[in-house]
Amino acid sequence: MPQYPLVPAPGGISTTLDITAPTVVKALPGRLYSISVIVAGSGAGAVYDSASTTGNTAANQVAVVPTTAGVINANALPCATGIVVAPGTGQTLAVAWS
């Protein structure tokens, strides 16, 4: 049994695949469920609570994406403005969100 129960997402959970450049995944409030590092890179990536790929700083950063391949459980992390995924150098990412 998981330590934390899954949180049902109204309308379901969506995925965005093959992220290789900063991408607005959702331009409205939402939740981040997981981040998959498909291709490892030489620099860490980031996820921001934002609706734009520009102007993001540590002040609105909600997650660091490590350089190694693997899956990060984001535990339905709420984002009040939107969800922007910015892969690190050489990374390919996939995210689950609602």
Question: Is 2 domain-assigned?
Answer: no
For residue range 5-38, what is the model confidence (pLDDT) as tens digits?
555 566 789 999 999 999 999 999 999 999 999 9
Identify whether 78 is part of a domain. Answer: yes
Residue 21, domain member (yes or no): yes
**Confidence (pLDDT) at 9:** 61
pLDDT of residue 1: 41
> Is residue 52, in this structure, part of any structural domain at all?
yes
Is the Cβ–Cβ distance between 83 and 7 less than 8 Å?
no
Considering the domain boundaries, does residue 9 fall inside one? no
pLDDT band at 2 (very low <50, low <70, confident <90, very high): very low
- SS3 per-residue string spanning 39-89: ECCCCCEEEECCCCCCCCCHHHEEEEECCCCEEEEEEEEEECCCEEEECCC
Tell me, yes or no, whether 6 lies in a domain: no
- Look at the chain and report how many structural domains it folds into: 1
Percent of the chain beyond pLDDT 70? Answer: 89
Which domain does 80 fall in, by range?
A: 14-97
